[in-house]
Amino acid sequence: MSRIKERLESKLTVQQRKAAALLVANEWGELTEDGKKKTQAELAEVVGVTRGTLYTWRQDDDFIAYVNLLTDRDLNAMRTVANAQLMSLIKGDKTNGIASVKALEMFYKRHGLLTDRQVVETVTDGGAYESDEDIEKGIAEVDAILAEG
């Protein structure tokens, strides 16, 4: 990830990098005052640019990629917290020892121990499988309908 980060940072100015970090922090609620996030105008003022400039940066592919990289980094840092919460739900720590079925399902799916499986079987009215001739006839009918359209 560091190579990607370095490449993106080389394409952005110091102000753009600061703006990206502030945008991420603001979305995570780290800049809130009295429970309110900062507005785009307030963030632009902190960075030392106009709201219009900040808006333009937010449309730039490299800026967007950098914001996403910072967001992913912060989200990955929360994996331990999420895993601890999942284990708490599995143990039933907050529900008198009753495990959350959804938490158990998520745990098993995460570790590949539970998978969704669907079987699709086509049967004709008589209960027998269609012959190759019947399938070819059906394909010809569909081709004819498509040719008309």
pLDDT tens figures, 93-130: 888 889 888 888 888 888 888 877 788 876 666 656 67
**CB atoms near residue 47 (< 10 Å):** 21
Closest CA to 84 of 102, 101, 107, 112: 107
What is the per-residue pLDDT across 9-42, written as a single tens digit (0 to 9) for each?
A: 999 999 999 999 999 999 988 887 787 899 999 9
- d(Cα 133, Cα 139) in Å, to the nearest integer? 10
Under DSSP, the state recorded for 100 is P
What's the CATH class of domain 2-77?
mainly alpha
Residues 82, 47 contacting (CB under 8 angstroms):
no
Domain spans, the chain = 2-77, 80-110
Residue 128 has a pLDDT of 60
Helix or strand or coil: residue 123?
Answer: coil
- Alpha carbons 145 and 57: distance in angstroms, whole number: 51
What is residue 36's DSSP assignment? B
Tokens, residue 129: 């499988």
Only one residue has tokens 């800026």, namely 63
* Interatomic CA distance for residues 66 and 43, integer angstroms: 17
Tell me the chain's radius of gyration from C-alpha atoms.
27
pTM: 0.63
pLDDT at 127 (0 to 100): 56
Tokens at 102, concatenated: 């959804």
